[in-house]
């Protein structure tokens, strides 16, 4: 029975990775950049919830909504200040290094404001655990909500992209920025929208992550952020179902290797997965192959 | 009398060497006359380590044009293999300089070997993917070393990935690498003088490489891979060459690091991802592709926080802002246009832009 409970934990952690990976994959698909600071936006979102709930005693729902608003605003600001000026730069390294700078900036700002001490995050989700198989497997409320949240987000996002005009604009921009511009699509606006959605999702991911793993430090977001990128690559970067599948599989791999191989080596195993995927199938499970042109 | 005509490269290189040598002599004089605080003295070897690392990474980022976020991992390999050698041969080779020289060579070779092995798969990727995969490799190296146990007894070496008990050492066996506790009791062979010599060696290797036929081939790959391939340059070979040398040099820095401390542990703060970023900071602030800049940036950024103690809390924040601003200032197409338009000396501006590229 322990196998099933590990599996459920893995799916739960994987759902969090999937939500983060959605943000990565959308930004990568549209702006063609690796947003290194994405993981740190998760951390900012968690701190906002933490402050609102323990500082002012707001209800969990209100603080989560405010956190999403804050992160969305942060994402748009970061894009406008740090990334937009570098669009069309001669070297692809320029925007990558800037993103690392932004990540560093967010971490150190949090370090200055909140200090390096671990903050105990009170779970946002108040739900009784569910007993399965006559009490042999316990599923916590956090686990259940995480998985449901992830499914809802996936469906909403897919509908948004396929059924609305803004979503179609996103697809067009990811396909060919120049042509999209000629068709009268506001490219900058669309990219801002992508960052807004990605950062909003990051806030939700932060809430779910810290509810399940309640220790909050300025570095909370960086490791899950990198692992979610692994998930996005695994699923095929730019593909939304891919990010979902990649996230879930990665979560299961991580929990299983923690349980059955070695807890210290689990990170190494997750990264090994990335390397193997990139070597065997660089476009991921559901990615498209892009031919490089001269 | 015939005047010897020096090429521009030679002049440039000689300037770099003389800056380093003059700085070394000044510090030595200050040390001899007692004008240097003990705090500063403690920083001298770390400065050397950072300089070597920055030069190594600049070879990868500036000359090869690929961002590696795993150089802390190569440093880690160099540090552990070098310290491992010194610890094993402490009783056999009692002449410290010889032992340390061998340790440096072994550390560099091991790091270069790993750079080569990792480079084969990794260098097929580029840009963002390469950055994240090197980061992944750096983390893997750190994680594996943290669960590595190596002991030595009369039967030879024993290795385990679990704990010290599973090594099954006989009576007088001793543990050399003790998992997360790392290696303790490495002889303190590092000194500022050794560091200076190593910096010179690193500079000679890198500057000669850049100005050689191979170096020009590497830079042509950076500037336009497809064009370089079309004129018959072996892309994979040259990429691998630059990456391996870069990893080996980072290994040298690692050996220096290991022999400067009593206990060597692979922790996030010394061999983690943040270390790679710190080194990247030196490279970016010194100018990507500018070796002399890396040296100066590494010195300034290591010593500055100690001089401005009051700002210590804000140091990293300021670095982050400087990093972002500098990247935008140097690379943003719009700002480059403005800079060209309003530069006081158009010529110098154009030259600088060319250098950065």
Q: Is any Cβ of chain A less than 8 angstroms from the Cβ of B311?
A: no
Contact by Cβ (8 Å): A97, B327: yes
Q: Do B323 and A268 touch (CB under 8 A)?
A: no
**Beta strands across the sheet bearing B174-178:** B156-160, B149-153, B174-178
Query: Which residues from chain B sit within 8 angstroms of residue A267, using beta carbons?
Result: 139-140, 143
Query: Which residues from chain B sit within 8 angstroms of residue A292, using beta carbons?
Result: 226
What does the alpha-carbon distance between residue B77 and residue B248 come to, in Å, rounded to a whole number? 10
Q: How confident is the model at residue B355 (pLDDT cuts 50, 70, 90)?
A: low
Q: Do B327 and A104 touch (CB under 8 A)?
A: no
- Closest to B355 measured CA to CA, from B212, B219, B182: B219
What does the alpha-carbon distance between residue B64 and residue A74 come to, in Å, rounded to a whole number? 34
What does the alpha-carbon distance between residue B76 and residue B110 come to, in Å, rounded to a whole number? 10
Q: Which of A101, A264, A282 sits opposite B323 (nearest CB)?
A: A101
Q: Do A34 and B131 touch (CB under 8 A)?
A: yes
Out of A174-178, B119-123, B155-159, least confident range: B155-159
- Helix locations, B211-345, DSSP H: 213-223, 225-230, 235-258, 268-271, 273-286, 291-307, 315-331, 333-342
Residues B207, B261, single domain; the answer is yes
Give the model's pLDDT for residue B345: 59
Q: Which of B140, B327, B333 sits opposite A268 (nearest CB)?
A: B140
Q: Which residue has the tokens 């000026």?
A: A85
B18 burial level (CB within 10 Å; 0-12, 13-18, 19+): exposed
Residues B320, B335, single domain; the answer is yes
Q: Do A85 and B357 touch (CB under 8 A)?
A: no
B357 in helix, strand or coil? Answer: coil
What does the alpha-carbon distance between residue A169 and residue A191 come to, in Å, rounded to a whole number? 10
Q: What backbone phi and psi angles, to 5 degrees, belong to B130?
A: -60, -40
A137 in helix, strand or coil? Answer: strand
Domain stop point among B267, B282, B307: B307
Query: Which residues from chain B sit within 8 angstroms of residue A291, using beta carbons?
Result: none
Q: Do B133 and A275 touch (CB under 8 A)?
A: yes
Q: Do A274 and B133 touch (CB under 8 A)?
A: yes
Q: Which residues pair with B184 in a beta bridge?
A: B263
Best residue in B62, B121, B320 for a mutation probing chain A (most A CBs within 10 Å): B320
Q: Give pLDDT tens digits along chain A (294 positions).
A: 688 888 888 999 999 999 999 988 888 888 888 888 898 999 999 999 888 888 887 788 888 899 999 999 999 999 999 998 888 887 778 888 899 899 989 998 998 888 888 888 877 777 777 777 767 777 788 888 888 989 999 999 999 988 999 999 988 888 888 898 898 899 999 999 999 999 999 999 988 888 888 888 888 888 888 888 888 888 888 788 888 899 999 999 999 998 888 777 888 888 888 888 877 877 777 766 555 544
Q: Which residue has the tokens 């018959």?
A: B232
Helices vs. strands in chain B: H and E counts, helices first: 15, 5
- What distance in Å separates residue A88's CA from the closest CA in chain B? 7
The count of domains in chain B is 2
Residues B297, B251, single domain; the answer is yes
Residues B296, B343, single domain; the answer is no
Query: Which residues from chain A sit within 8 angstroms of residue B284, using beta carbons?
Result: 97
Q: What backbone phi and psi angles, to 5 degrees, belong to B263?
A: -125, 135
Q: Which helix (H) or strand (E) holds A245?
A: helix A240-260
Beta-strand pair A119-120/A215-216: antiparallel
Residues B279, B315, single domain; the answer is no
Q: Which residues pair with A132 in a beta bridge?
A: A137
Give the model's pLDDT for residue B349: 53
Chain A residue at shortest CA distance from B324: A98
Give the model's pLDDT for residue B322: 84
Residues B69, B206, single domain; the answer is yes
* Nearby residues of B36 by Cβ (< 8 Å), 6 or more positions away: B27, B30
Contact by Cβ (8 Å): A188, A182: no
In a domain, B344, yes or no: yes
Q: Do B146 and A264 touch (CB under 8 A)?
A: yes
Q: Which of B61, B273, B317 sits opposite A109 (nearest CB)?
A: B317
Q: Tell me the ipTM for this assembly.
A: 0.83
Q: Which two tokens stand for residue B318?
A: 């300021």
What does the alpha-carbon distance between residue A55 and residue B309 come to, in Å, rounded to a whole number? 32
Is the pLDDT reported for residue B1 higher than 70? no
Q: Do B327 and A271 touch (CB under 8 A)?
A: no
What does the alpha-carbon distance between residue A66 and residue A68 come to, in Å, rounded to a whole number? 5
The CA dihedral of B259, B260, B261, B267, to the nearest 10 degrees, is -90
What does the alpha-carbon distance between residue A85 and residue A292 come to, in Å, rounded to a whole number? 25
- What distance in Å separates residue A146's CA from the closest CA in chain B? 27
Give the model's pLDDT for residue A294: 47
Give the model's pLDDT for residue A290: 56
Chain centre to alpha carbon of residue B286: 14
Q: Which of B143, B316, B328 sits opposite A86 (nearest CB)?
A: B328
Contacts across the A-B interface (CB distance below 8 Å): 124
Q: Do B132 and A229 touch (CB under 8 A)?
A: yes
Q: Which two tokens stand for residue A53?
A: 């709930």
Q: Which residues of A88-97 are buried (b: 16+ CB within 10 A; e: fewer)?
A: ebebbbbbbb
Residues B303, B326, single domain; the answer is no
Residues B343, B301, single domain; the answer is no
Please state which CATH number belongs to domain A2-280: 1.10.3470
| Residues written for chain B | 357
What does the alpha-carbon distance between residue B72 and residue B357 come to, in Å, rounded to a whole number? 26
Query: Which residues from chain B sit within 8 angstroms of residue A98, using beta carbons?
Result: 323-324, 327-328
Chain B residue at shortest CA distance from A103: B320
- Mean pLDDT for the stretch of residues B142-155: 81
* Nearby residues of B278 by Cβ (< 8 Å), 6 or more positions away: B50
Q: Which of B128, B280, B317 sits opposite A108 (nearest CB)?
A: B317
Q: Do A91 and B331 touch (CB under 8 A)?
A: yes
Is the pLDDT reported for residue B245 higher than 90? yes
Chain B residue at shortest CA distance from A109: B317
Q: Is any Cβ of chain A less than 8 angstroms from the Cβ of B65?
A: yes
Contact by Cβ (8 Å): B241, B214: yes
Q: Do B323 and A89 touch (CB under 8 A)?
A: no
Query: Which residues from chain B sit within 8 angstroms of residue A234, using beta carbons?
Result: none
Domain ranges of chain A: 2-280
As a whole number, the mean pLDDT across chain B is 83
- Closest to A49 measured CA to CA, from A40, A59, A39: A59
- Strands (DSSP E) contained in chain B are 149-153, 156-160, 174-178, 183-184, 263-264
Residues B354, B267, single domain; the answer is no
- What distance in Å separates residue B302's CA from the closest CA in chain A? 18
Residues B193, B337, single domain; the answer is no
What does the alpha-carbon distance between residue A252 and residue A258 come to, in Å, rounded to a whole number? 10
In a domain, B259, yes or no: yes
Residues B272, B213, single domain; the answer is yes
Q: Is any Cβ of chain A less than 8 angstroms from the Cβ of B136?
A: yes
Give the model's pLDDT for residue B344: 63
Q: Is any Cβ of chain A less than 8 angstroms from the Cβ of B269?
A: no
Query: Which residues from chain A sit within 8 angstroms of residue B317, using beta carbons?
Result: 105, 108-109, 112
Angular region, B261: left φ>0, alpha ψ -120 to 50, beta rest: beta
Q: Is any Cβ of chain A less than 8 angstroms from the Cβ of B124?
A: yes
What distances in angstroms separate CA A16 from CA A9, A186, A212, A225, one per listed residue? 11, 31, 10, 10
pLDDT in tens, B6-54: 677 788 888 888 888 888 888 888 888 877 777 778 888 889 999 999 9
Query: Which residues from chain A sit within 8 angstroms of residue B313, using beta carbons?
Result: 112
What does the alpha-carbon distance between residue A58 and residue B149 come to, in Å, rounded to a whole number? 50
Q: Which of B67, B129, B317 sits opposite A105 (nearest CB)?
A: B317
Q: What backbone phi and psi angles, to 5 degrees, belong to A167?
A: -65, -40
In a domain, B230, yes or no: yes
Q: Which of A108, A226, A282 sits opposite B135 (nearest CB)?
A: A226
Residues B333, B210, single domain; the answer is no
- What distance in Å separates residue B98's CA from the closest CA in chain A? 36
- Mean pLDDT for the stretch of residues B104-109: 93
Report chain B's terminal Cα–Cα distance, integer Å: 39
Q: Which two tokens stand for residue A54?
A: 């323990």
Q: Is any Cβ of chain A less than 8 angstroms from the Cβ of B329?
A: no
Task: Print the domain residue range for B214.
Answer: 40-82+97-148+186-307
Q: What backbone phi and psi angles, to 5 degrees, belong to B294?
A: -60, -45
- What distance in Å separates residue B58's CA from the closest CA in chain A? 13
Q: What backbone phi and psi angles, to 5 degrees, belong to A139?
A: -110, 120
Q: What backbone phi and psi angles, to 5 degrees, belong to B264?
A: -110, 120
Query: Which residues from chain A sit within 8 angstroms of residue B133, using beta carbons?
Result: 274-275, 278
Query: Which residues from chain A sit within 8 angstroms of residue B288, using beta carbons?
Result: 93
């Amino acid at each position: 029975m322990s196998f099933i409970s590990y599996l459920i934990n893995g799916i739960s952690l994987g759902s969090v990775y999937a939500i983060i990976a959605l943000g990565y994959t959308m930004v990568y698909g549209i702006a063609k950049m690796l947003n290194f600071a994405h993981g740190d936006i998760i951390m900012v979102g968690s701190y906002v919830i933490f402050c609102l709930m323990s500082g002012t005693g707001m209800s969990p729902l209100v603080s989560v909504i405010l956190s999403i608003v804050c992160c969305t605003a942060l994402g748009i600001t970061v894009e406008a200040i740090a990334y937009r000026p570098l669009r069309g730069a001669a070297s692809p390294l320029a925007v990558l290094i800037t993103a690392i700078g932004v990540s560093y900036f967010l971490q150190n700002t949090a370090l200055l404001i909140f200090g390096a001490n671990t903050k105990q995050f009170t779970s946002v989700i108040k739900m009784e655990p569910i007993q399965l198989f006559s009490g042999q497997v316990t599923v916590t409320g956090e686990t259940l909500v995480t998985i449901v949240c992830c499914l809802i987000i996936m469906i909403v996002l897919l509908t948004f992209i396929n059924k609305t005009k803004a979503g179609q604009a996103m697809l067009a921009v990811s396909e060919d920025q120049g042509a999209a511009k000629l068709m009268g699509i506001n490219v900058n606006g669309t990219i801002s929208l992508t960052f807004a959605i990605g950062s909003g999702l990051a806030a939700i991911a932060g809430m779910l992550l810290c509810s399940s793993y309640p220790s909050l430090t300025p570095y909370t977001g960086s490791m899950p952020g990198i692992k979610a990128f692994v998930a996005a690559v695994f699923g095929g970067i730019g593909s939304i179902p891919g990010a979902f599948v990649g996230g879930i599989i990665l979560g299961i791999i991580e929990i299983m290797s923690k349980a059955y191989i070695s807890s210290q080596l689990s990170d190494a195993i997750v990264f090994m997965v990335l390397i193997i995927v990139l070597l065997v199938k660089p476009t991921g499970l559901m990615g498209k192959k892009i031919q490089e042109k001269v | 009398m015939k005047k010897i005509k020096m090429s521009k490269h030679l002049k440039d290189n000689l300037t770099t060497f003389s800056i380093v040598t003059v700085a070394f002599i000044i510090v030595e004089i200050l040390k001899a006359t007692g004008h240097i605080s003990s705090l500063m003295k403690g920083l001298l070897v770390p400065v050397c380590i950072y300089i070597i690392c920055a030069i190594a990474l600049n070879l990868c980022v500036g000359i090869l044009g690929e961002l590696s976020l795993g150089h802390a991992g190569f440093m880690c390999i160099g540090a552990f293999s070098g310290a491992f050698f010194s610890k094993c041969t402490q009783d056999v080779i009692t002449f410290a300089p010889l032992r340390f020289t061998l340790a440096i060579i072994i550390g560099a070779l091991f790091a270069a070997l790993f750079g080569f092995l990792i480079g084969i798969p990794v260098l097929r990727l580029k840009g963002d993917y390469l950055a994240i995969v090197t980061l992944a490799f750096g983390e893997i190296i750190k994680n594996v070393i943290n669960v590595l146990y190596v002991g030595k007894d009369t039967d030879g070496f024993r290795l385990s990935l679990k704990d010290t008990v599973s090594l099954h050492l006989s009576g007088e066996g001793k543990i050399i690498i003790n998992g997360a506790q790392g290696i303790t009791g490495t002889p303190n062979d590092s000194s500022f003088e050794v560091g200076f010599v190593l910096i010179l060696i690193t500079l000679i290797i890198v500057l000669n490489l850049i100005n050689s036929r191979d170096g020009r081939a590497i830079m042509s790959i950076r500037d336009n891979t497809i064009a370089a391939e079309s004129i018959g340059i072996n892309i994979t070979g040259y990429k691998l060459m630059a990456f391996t040398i870069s990893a080996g040099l980072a290994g040298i820095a690692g050996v220096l690091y290991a022999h400067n401390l009593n206990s060597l542990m692979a922790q996030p703060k010394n061999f983690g991802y943040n270390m790679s970023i710190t080194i990247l900071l030196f490279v970016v602030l010194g100018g990507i592709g500018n070796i002399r800049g890396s040296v100066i940036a590494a010195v300034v950024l290591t010593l500055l926080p100690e001089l401005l103690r009051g700002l210590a809390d804000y140091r990293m924040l300021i670095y982050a802002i400087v990093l972002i601003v500098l990247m935008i200032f140097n690379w943003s197409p719009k700002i480059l246009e403005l800079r060209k338009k309003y530069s006081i000396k158009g010529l110098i501006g154009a030259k600088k832009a060319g250098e950065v590229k």
